[in-house]
Amino acid sequence: RVERMVNGIVRQLESNGDSDVTSDHIGELVMEGLKALDGVAYVRFASVYKNFREAKDFGELIDELSADETPERDPPRRTPASS
């Protein structure tokens, strides 16, 4: 799965046609890929990539990840009461 993610990133970069690609752009693409692939790997990579210094940095990222994973739910439907 990781190899497939990396191949996808390479194809995306090649399709852009840019001869120069910044490490920041590659880092963002890797973070997007890991976020979709494995939440723990995403948090670990992000903590180094974004140079986390405090526990709250982890908390904010985990909250963001949790919010993205929470499916939107329709409100409960009311059924007519039976007599």
Q: Count the alpha carbons within 13 Å of 47 in the hemisphere toward its beta carbon.
A: 14
In this predicted model, what pLDDT tens digit does every residue of 33-47 receive, in sequence order? 998 898 889 888 888
Q: How many CB atoms lie within 10 A of CB 81?
A: 5
In this predicted model, what pLDDT tens digit does every residue of 10-59 receive, in sequence order? 999 999 888 899 999 999 999 999 988 988 898 888 888 888 888 898 88
